[in-house]
A = this chain, B = another copy of it.
Amino acid sequence: MKVKCTLSYDGSRFSGFQIQEKGRTVQGEIEKVLRKIHKGESIRIYPSGRTDAGVHALGQVIHFATTFSLKEADWKRALNAMLPDDIYIKAVEHASDAFHARYDVMEKEYQYIVQNVVEPDVFKRQYVHHFPYALNVAAIQKACSYFVGEHDFTTFSSAKSTAKGSKVRTLYEVSCKQEGNQLIFTFRGSGFLFNMVRIIVGTLLEIGQGKRRAEDIPTLFEMKDRRKAGKTAPPQGLYLWEVVYDDR
By a beta-carbon cutoff of 8 Å, the part of chain A in contact with chain B is: 8-10, 56, 85-88, 90, 119-123, 125, 127
Contacts and interface: CB of A to CB of B under 8 A. Distances in A.
Contacts of A121: 8, 88
Contacts of A120: 85, 88
8 contacts: A8-B122, A8-B123, A9-B122, A85-B120, A85-B122, A87-B122, A88-B120, A88-B121
A146 B120 CA distance: 38
Contact of A122 (B10, B119, B122): B10
Contacts of A122: 8-10, 85-88
B8 A56 contact: no
Of A120, A121, A123, chain B has the most CB atoms within 10 Å of the CB of A123
Nearest to A239: B123
Nearest to A57: B122
A85 B130 CA distance: 12
A125 B90 contact: no
A79 to B, nearest CB: 13
The 4 closest A-B pairs by CB, nearest first: A10-B122, A88-B122, A8-B122, A85-B125
B90 A123 contact: no
A111 to B, nearest CB: 13
A122 B121 CA distance: 19
Contact of A119 (B87, B88, B123): B88
A119 B125 CA distance: 24
A112 to B, nearest CB: 15
Contacts of A123: 8, 10, 56, 127
Nearest to A9: B122
A88 B56 CA distance: 24
Of A85, A119, A122, chain B has the most CB atoms within 10 Å of the CB of A122
Contacts of A127: 123
A166 B57 CA distance: 50
Contacts of A86: 122, 125
Contacts of A85: 120, 122, 125
A11 to B, nearest CB: 10
